[in-house]
Amino acid sequence: MRVMAKWIFYVVVLMIPMGLGAQVEFTAKVSKKKLGLNERLRIDFEMNQDGDNFEPPSFEGFRVLGGPNQSISNSWINGKRSYSKTYSFFLAPLKKGVATIGQAAIEVDGERYKSLPVEVVVTEAVEIPKDGNNADYLASENVHLVAEVSNTNPYLNEAITVVYKLYVSNQVSITSNWREIDSPKYADFWSQNLDQKGQLQIYEGQYRGEDYRYVILRTAVLYPQKTGELSIEPLTLDVPIDVRSNRRDFFGRFMTTRVNKTISAGRRTINVKPLPLENRPEDFTGAVGFFDFDSSISRSELDAQESLEYSVTVRGEGNLKLFELPKPQFPNAFEVYEPARNDKISTRTSGMRGSVSEVYTLVPQNQGTYPLPPLSFSYFDPNLERYITKTTQDHIVSVINGPAQESALQNNERADTNLVVVDTDRFSYIKLQSDWLARNPAPWFGTWAYWRWVLGLLIFLPLWFVLSAIRNRYLGDTASRDLRKRKRLIAQYLSQAKAEQQNPTAFYAALERSLHLFLKAQLKLETSGLSKENIRALMTQRTLTQDAIDRLIDLIERCERARYAPTTAVDVQNDYNEAQEVIALINNTKR
């Protein structure tokens, strides 16, 4: 019996904890004791026995947003039963100050149990409504997306880098992929994204003094294309975040809640400086960075119609894709083809690096020596903050064989050149002889000195007339001039006859001789041919009047008659006058 009683005792003792465990607990739990006016509060009334007739408090100073929500959990762990029944309410405070949530009551096994009243402090509205246990709140507090800008005050066209980093604290984890809601837009920038390849690398870092892990989501190289305040539109991600809750799962691990959170990198403003205006070279086309500049030709000696390549290269670091290469100018005798562009550019976080070149194919058409003028290229060095100009050396192309045909320029002049026989197939040698002319001779034509010369010549005219007039006055008037002339002529021929007027025979002999001489001189007759018929014929030819001829022949006959028959009556004076008149007549008519 004693043994029996002992066993019963043990059983009873062992049963005591069970009886104690069955003690009813009824508590009120608030999600936070202090909250802002714009925040929400959750209150749970929890019991460990199945109670009935739940009576919620009046919730004075609060507005009931939701509830009561009833939930029951019943679990057996290692044969131990745990039971809970919860009535939840969501409340919004109505005024600031200390608010008391009154007692709630339930009935278990006919007994009424009441919860303790809870005091809650309601403060001013907070910026972000927080819920300390809210997974959303936790997620937003522990995950940050940051845009790091390498230089917020760059020069125009100077490379800047924007790195988007996702910071994740050790309290939360991200296990699946995020979704990009809003891609950043780089208006007024030339941009290139440097996307990570493969798995994201996880780095350890600090965010606001706390240890964080971070991944680099994206790196973009930006070249501002405008001056002034430029903004980078934010990157917005929808990230699924696993937030550890205080609850544990079946195996004792903390339960995680997945929260989809939209996080944004925030808007960044970049203040772009303009490039300085002073000392800006004329050939500056907007290159900013550090460059080398070079030009080269593939060959310097060739024949016409063969081709050569001329390449212009800019090599270095900077906005390589964003400026024009200097355009070379070629002689018009070269056929130039569109250049082939050759870019070898790699983009890194520091910006673009590599080389840009343009290759021109040239085909000379004519022989000759062609200097290709040097090219210059200017860029702005953002570190030295000044412009730098680099110039290439000039190249000389010799076209050895080929036509030397003149260019189109000469078309209108070629005709002239062809008039003179010139060997255009070669470049002529210099001239070795020279006639010298005075440079800048004093102007003569049109000056007073010139017109004096003209007048000096003209003055001879009046001078001559004046002189001849004086001479005429000296010699007599013009009317008597003919007479004087005739007298002179007659005197020339009849001087001898005149002298012999007293002796008729001699007179007629002289007169006849004189007439013959006159005829010889005037009619260019030979004495031998001086027959009267001959004279008549010749004189008729010379268009002398019949009267004059008759008178002359008559006179000659009279002379002959007087010579051979001197006795006949003669009139010396009359014949002398007659001779004068005939000579004058013939002389005048002959003109």
Partner 1 sequence: MMARGLYLWVFILLFAAQNGHGQGQSDNWFDQGNQLYKNEQYNEAILRWEAVIESGVHSAAIYYNMANAYYHLNDLASSIYYYEKALELSPGDGEIKANRAYVQNALVDVIREQPKTLFQKWDEASAQLLSVNTWAWLGLFFMGLFVFVVIRFNWVETPAAKRFSFVMSVLSIMLFAASIYLGVKTQSYKQKYRWAIVFAQEMSVRSGPRLSDEALFELHAGTKLRLLQTQDEWQEIELADGRRGWVSSQEIKAL
Which C-beta is closer to partner 1: that of 263 or that of 333?
Answer: 333
Binding flag, residue 454, partner 1 (CB under 8 A): yes
State the nearest-atom distance from the C-beta of 407 to partner 1, in Å.
5
Structure tokens at 258: 């997945």
Binding flag, residue 478, partner 1 (CB under 8 A): no
State the nearest-atom distance from the C-beta of 429 to partner 1, in Å.
8
Check: CB of residue 115 under 8 Å from CB of residue 56. no
Task: Using the Cα atoms of residue 108, residue 112, residue 113 and residue 117 in order, give the sign of their dihedral.
Answer: positive
Which C-beta is closer to partner 1: that of 214 or that of 334?
Answer: 334
Which segment (116-124, 292-300, 329-337, 529-537) binds partner 1 by CB under 8 A? Answer: 329-337
State the nearest-atom distance from the C-beta of 326 to partner 1, in Å.
10
Binding flag, residue 228, partner 1 (CB under 8 A): no
Which segment (19-27, 232-240, 313-321, 438-446) binds partner 1 by CB under 8 A? Answer: 438-446
Check: CB of residue 150 under 8 Å from CB of residue 161. yes
When binding is defined by CB under 8 A, the residue of 76, 250, 251, 436 that contacts partner 1 is 436
Check: CB of residue 458 under 8 Å from CB of residue 540. no
State the nearest-atom distance from the C-beta of 408 to partner 1, in Å.
6
Task: Identify the helix (H) or strand (E) that includes residue 113.
Answer: strand 111-114
Cα separation, 553 vs 548, whole angstroms: 9
Binding flag, residue 302, partner 1 (CB under 8 A): no
Cα separation, 456 vs 448, whole angstroms: 12
State the nearest-atom distance from the C-beta of 441 to partner 1, in Å.
7
Q: State the alpha helices, DSSP H only, in 108-230.
A: 135-142
Which C-beta is closer to partner 1: that of 83 or that of 453?
Answer: 453
Which C-beta is closer to partner 1: that of 229 or that of 423?
Answer: 423
SS3 458: helix
- At position 236, the amino acid (one-letter code) is T
State the nearest-atom distance from the C-beta of 304 to partner 1, in Å.
11
Q: Please enumerate in sequence order all residues whose Cβ is within 8 A of that of 407, keeping only pairs 6 or more positions apart, or say none.
A: 332, 333, 366
State the nearest-atom distance from the C-beta of 308 to partner 1, in Å.
15
Which segment (167-175, 232-240, 457-465, 516-524) binds partner 1 by CB under 8 A? Answer: 457-465
Count interface residues toward partner 1 (CB under 8 A).
Answer: 60
Binding flag, residue 448, partner 1 (CB under 8 A): no
Binding flag, residue 469, partner 1 (CB under 8 A): no
Binding flag, residue 409, partner 1 (CB under 8 A): yes
Cα separation, 333 vs 428, whole angstroms: 19
Task: Identify the helix (H) or strand (E) that includes residue 29.
Answer: strand 26-30
Task: Report residue 464: phi and psi, to 5°.
Answer: -65, -40
Binding flag, residue 337, partner 1 (CB under 8 A): no
Which C-beta is closer to partner 1: that of 410 or that of 527?
Answer: 410
Cα–Cα separations (whole angstroms), residue 516 to 510, 521, 522, 524, 579: 10, 8, 10, 11, 12
Q: Which of residues 15-34 bind partner 1 (CB under 8 A)?
A: none
Which C-beta is closer to partner 1: that of 118 or that of 375?
Answer: 375
Structure tokens at 41: 């509060």
State the nearest-atom distance from the C-beta of 478 to partner 1, in Å.
12
When binding is defined by CB under 8 A, the residue of 404, 530, 570, 585 that contacts partner 1 is 404
Binding flag, residue 415, partner 1 (CB under 8 A): no
Binding flag, residue 428, partner 1 (CB under 8 A): yes
Cα separation, 231 vs 19, whole angstroms: 70
Q: At what angle do helices 572-590 and 504-523 cross, to 10 degrees?
A: 0
Binding flag, residue 589, partner 1 (CB under 8 A): no
Task: Report residue 79: phi and psi, to 5°.
Answer: 75, -5
Cα separation, 568 vs 96, whole angstroms: 189
State the nearest-atom distance from the C-beta of 465 to partner 1, in Å.
8
State the nearest-atom distance from the C-beta of 540 to partner 1, in Å.
22
Residue in 349, 424, 357 with CA at minimum distance from that of residue 392: 357
Check: CB of residue 318 under 8 Å from CB of residue 287. yes
- At position 371, the amino acid (one-letter code) is P
Binding flag, residue 417, partner 1 (CB under 8 A): yes
Cα separation, 263 vs 177, whole angstroms: 14
What is the contact surface with partner 1 in residues (CB under 8 A)? 329-333, 366, 368-371, 373-374, 394, 396, 404, 406-410, 412-413, 416-417, 419-424, 427-441, 444-446, 450, 453-454, 456-458, 460-461, 464-465, 468, 591
